[in-house]
């Protein structure tokens, strides 16, 4: 291995470690699903991203900068898709936790009640966004100005580029649930909201 190869490698994006064991989300999301989703899909986006940026003016940009620079640019779609999917997936893993769901921390719960009326109404809106996203995409809880909102995005699109602050993400690409739930996306979404969603992470993101 030459020195220049070592230097080149230091600029590569890395697959963020999964914040728990692959079987930690069972029985809601199986270790098999996580194995494919994290080990193949997420890793695939990171690998593709590194190939696309090699030797280009994008090679030294941070992931967030890369996403901002390529968003909405027709000639940079592959780069944007792989960069945004790299970011979205890391954010999704942290949006879930073993024994999640339940009650959000007090300050977050108050913000949820101020924005949606109740925690149930917020969960319902997230479930509706997740189940009505046509085809592949994401449902998000975001902070816009001082208000919490639910938004959905298609394919690799991310709220990062839309002037809002992401708080939580639910992946609704089929690869996120098909092995465990087949076509029953609504069952996956409601189980995630009741048993896995990481309100503590949303609270940290609120700042």
Residues that bind Fe ion (CB under 5 A): 171, 173, 176
Q: Are 173 and 180 in contact (CB under 8 A)?
A: no
CB of 21 to Fe ion, least distance (A): 18
- Which residues fall within 8 angstroms of residue 20, CB to CB, at 6 or more apart? 97, 98
- The nearer residue to Fe ion, 93 or 201, going by C-beta atoms, is 93
CB of 42 to Fe ion, least distance (A): 7
- The nearer residue to Fe ion, 70 or 88, going by C-beta atoms, is 88
CB of 133 to Fe ion, least distance (A): 13
- The nearer residue to Fe ion, 9 or 184, going by C-beta atoms, is 184
- The nearer residue to Fe ion, 125 or 171, going by C-beta atoms, is 171
Q: Shortest Cβ contact with Fe ion: which residue?
A: 171
CB of 175 to Fe ion, least distance (A): 5
- The nearer residue to Fe ion, 90 or 203, going by C-beta atoms, is 90
Which of these, 47, 35, 133, 34, lies nearest to 86 by C-alpha position? 47
CB of 60 to Fe ion, least distance (A): 27
């Amino acid at each position: 291995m030459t020195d220049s190869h070592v230097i080149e490698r230091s600029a590569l994006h890395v697959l963020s470690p999964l914040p728990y064991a692959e079987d930690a989300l069972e029985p809601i999301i199986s270790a098999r699903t996580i194995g494919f989703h994290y080990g193949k899909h997420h890793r695939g986006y990171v690998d593709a991203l590194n190939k696309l940026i090699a030797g280009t003016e994008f090679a030294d940009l941070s992931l967030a900068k890369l996403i901002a620079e390529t968003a909405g640019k027709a000639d940079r779609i592959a780069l944007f898709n792989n960069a945004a999917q790299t970011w979205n997936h890391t954010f999704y893993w942290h949006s879930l936790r073993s024994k999640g769901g339940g009650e959000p921390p007090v300050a977050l719960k108050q913000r949820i009640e101020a924005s949606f009326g109740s925690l149930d109404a917020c969960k319902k809106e997230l479930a509706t966004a997740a189940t009505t996203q046509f085809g592949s995409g994401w449902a998000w809880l975001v902070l816009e100005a001082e208000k919490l909102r639910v938004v959905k995005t298609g394919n690799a699109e991310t709220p990062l580029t839309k002037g809002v602050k992401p708080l939580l993400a639910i992946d609704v690409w089929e690869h996120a649930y098909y092995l465990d739930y087949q076509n029953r996306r609504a069952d996956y979404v409601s189980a995630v909201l009741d048993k896995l969603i990481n309100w503590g992470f949303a609270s940290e993101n609120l700042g």
